[in-house]
Structures are given as structure tokens and as C-alpha cells.
């Protein structure tokens, strides 16, 4: 496994990271399965795990905490706040009040006294970003978090946040996390150039386009049981189209012709971008962890990268969508707390 610096920081993260959004979800990964996957990740050189306080209503963080007992120093934890919506005022978003509460809750679930990378899951559009950034800076100085990052930001918002940090002498964002893959490339027009200019690393999520690039979807578009394409109907409807299946076929043939799989190509193409720090990928088993880790060994030549990109340009994926996921509920009224019955 190779390692890259996260932004301009000294933190080194594995080129392949572990996504933990399925840990604790009904019908996905239970606690023993999650722990086996985490231990396999460590054993295969993966040192970064990505989670959130909203994943499985906090169970993902709890499972990680249990799995890392005695092995905390072997894994960097990246978790998020700001996307969990609760009833009552001051119960979601990026306010100082909620940031401070959220970090304490995550620390307790993770059974640790610090978080390596604390991420804004979505920018709170109801308020100036300075309040959130100042709270994060205080948490770094208090030793409760080490580094900060933004997730699901539009390009202009990540630029604005980083300039606010610089103008106010606050800890800079080390990374920006967003959807990026051979089938979701909308970030290339603005977000990726902005990150290059600002010295911010990219942490791509959905690198396999919800499983389309996993090599498991057959020619008829049937997704294997247990995958997001099979479980989440909107994912299947979005991705499984004749055009996308044809693109996957072409990419698979190109990779097979060079002794590799389309899954390995998906990782290698992303890692050809120097500012990609770690590619977040989920796993359903320790065997899949080994497969993901092995994929990082393939290095595309410049000519190969140009050739693959030409295929993508000539056959753009359908429904790739935006690189960010805005939280529409920031524009909705605050939910009232449930009232006790008289």
C-alpha cells in the first residue's frame, strides 16, 4: 500500500480508504462483519476509515470504536457532522452549539479522545460559514480533532471556506470529499481545479459508481444481492441503463486486455490524479478489502490515462449527477419536538 499526504498537512493516508456507511445498516453489515472488515483493512495497509454520525444513526461509529480497541493507533478516523436532522431547535447543521455537541457524541461512540479528520458533512446554508470554521479551529486547538475537511461542498463554497480560514488565521481545510469516478465527472470543471489551486486534497466517494464499476454487474444489468444497486432502487434506476452498461463493457474489455479488472481500473484512473489523497470504497467482506487494496498497485502510464479518458469523453455516462449532495432540509422549518400526550 502506498500513502499520500492529506492536503498540505503532514498526515499520510493510504491510497485506498475504507468506507463505513454500511456498518450497522439493516440488512448490510452487522458488528462482527464490520469488525472483520476493519481488521482486514488494517492488515492490508489501509489506515483511513470514513464514517459519519448519521450512518446507521451512529451505529457505524460505535462498531468502529469496538473494532479499534487495542488498535487505535493503526487507523486514522474520519467522521462527519451536520447531516443528522433531529427534532427541535439547535439539533442539526453547522452552528457552534451543534458542532460542539456532535464531536463529544462521536468521541463517545468511537471510544477515543481525538478524531483525526473531522468533516463538515454538508455546508449549513442558513448561516455564515465562519461560525462553523471557528468552532472547528477551537476543536483542533483543544486536541479533540487533528484536521478538518469539507464534504459535499460546491466549488465556490470550498474556495470561500478556505479563504475565510486564511483571512482569519484559522486551521485550513485539508481535503474536500465529493462524488468522483469514471462515471461521475462533474467535479472536473470547477471543483478539482479549485482544489489544485488551494492545496486541498480530494477524497472521492462512490468511486465504483454505486457498484457499476465493481465488475459484478452482468451484461443484462442485474446487480448482485447486497449491493447498493440492488438495495437502493433509486441507485439502480439511475445507473443501470443501456448506455452505461455499454460503457462498462468497453472499460472492462480495455482493462482485461492489460491483465486487470474494471474495478482495478476504476481505482487506478482516480489515483492518476496527484491531488487524490485516498479513495473511499466500501467492502462487504475481508476478501473484498484484499481486492480493493491490491487495486492500488496498478499505475496507469500517462498514455494509458489519456486513452481511458478518451473512451469516457466519447461515451459519457448517463445520470452521473452532481459531485455534491446538497441538504435541502436546511431550507425547511425546524422540526418541533414531539410533545408528550396529556
Three-point CA angle 157, 55, 46, nearest 5°: 85
Q: How far is CA 165 from CA 8, 249, 277, 306, in A?
A: 14, 45, 21, 36
Catalytic-labelled residue, pool 55, 118, 147, 180: 55
**And the C-alpha cell for 238?**
439511475
Cross-strand bridge partners of residue 119: 80, 149
22-52 in b/e form (b: 16+ CB < 10 A) is bbbeeebbeeebbbbbbbbbbebebbbbbbb
- The reply to whether 323 belongs to the active site is no
Characterise 80 by phi-psi region: left (phi > 0), alpha (psi -120 to 50), beta (else).
Answer: beta
Residues 6 or more apart whose Cβ sits within 8 Å of residue 62: 24, 109, 110
Characterise 15 by phi-psi region: left (phi > 0), alpha (psi -120 to 50), beta (else).
Answer: alpha
Q: Which residues carry out catalysis?
A: 55
Amino acid at each position: 500500500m502506498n500513502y499520500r499526504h492529506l492536503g498540505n498537512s503532514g498526515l499520510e493516508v493510504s491510497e485506498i480508504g475504507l468506507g463505513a456507511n454500511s456498518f450497522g445498516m439493516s440488512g448490510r453489515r452487522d458488528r462482527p462483519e464490520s469488525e472483520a472488515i476493519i481488521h482486514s483493512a488494517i492488515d492490508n495497509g489501509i489506515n483511513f476509515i470514513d464514517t459519519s454520525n448519521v450512518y446507521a444513526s451512529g451505529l457505524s461509529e460505535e462498531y468502529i470504536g469496538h473494532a479499534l480497541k487495542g488498535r487505535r493507533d493503526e487507523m486514522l478516523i474520519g467522521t462527519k457532522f451536520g447531516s443528522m436532522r433531529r427534532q427541535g431547535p439547535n439539533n442539526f447543521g453547522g452552528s457552534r452549539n451543534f458542532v460542539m455537541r456532535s464531536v463529544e457524541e462521536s468521541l463517545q461512540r468511537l471510544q477515543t479522545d481525538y478524531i483525526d479528520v473531522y468533516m463538515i458533512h454538508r455546508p449549513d446554508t442558513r448561516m455564515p460559514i465562519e461560525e462553523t470554521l471557528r468552532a472547528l479551529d477551537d476543536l483542533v486547538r483543544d486536541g479533540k480533532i487533528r484536521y478538518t475537511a469539507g464534504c459535499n461542498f460546491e466549488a465556490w463554497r470550498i474556495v470561500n471556506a478556505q479563504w475565510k480560514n486564511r483571512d482569519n488565521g484559522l486551521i485550513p481545510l485539508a481535503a474536500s470529499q465529493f462524488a468522483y469516478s469514471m462515471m461521475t465527472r462533474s467535479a472536473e470543471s470547477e471543483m478539482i481545479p479549485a482544489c489544485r489551486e488551494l492545496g486541498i486534497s480530494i477524497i472521492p466517494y462512490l468511486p465504483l459508481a454505486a457498484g457499476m464499476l465493481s465488475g459484478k454487474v452482468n451484461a443484462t444489468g442485474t446487480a448482485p444481492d447486497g449491493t447498493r444497486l440492488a438495495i437502493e432502487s433509486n441507485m439502480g434506476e439511475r445507473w443501470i441503463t443501456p448506455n452505461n452498461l455499454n460503457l462498462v463493457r468497453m472499460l472492462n474489455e480495455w482493462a482485461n486486455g492489460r491483465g486487470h479488472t474494471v474495478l482495478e481500473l476504476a481505482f487506478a484512473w482516480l489515483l492518476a490524479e496527484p491531488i487524490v489523497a485516498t479513495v473511499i470504497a466500501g467492502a462487504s467482506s475481508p476478501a473484498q478489502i484484499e481486492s480493493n487494496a491490491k487495486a492500488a498497485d496498478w499505475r496507469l502510464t500517462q498514455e494509458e490515462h489519456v486513452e481511458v479518458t478518451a473512451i469516457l469523453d466519447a461515451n459519457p455516462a448517463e445520470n452521473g449527477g452532481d459531485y455534491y449532495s446538497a441538504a435541502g432540509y436546511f431550507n425547511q422549518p425546524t422540526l418541533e419536538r414531539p410533545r408528550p400526550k396529556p
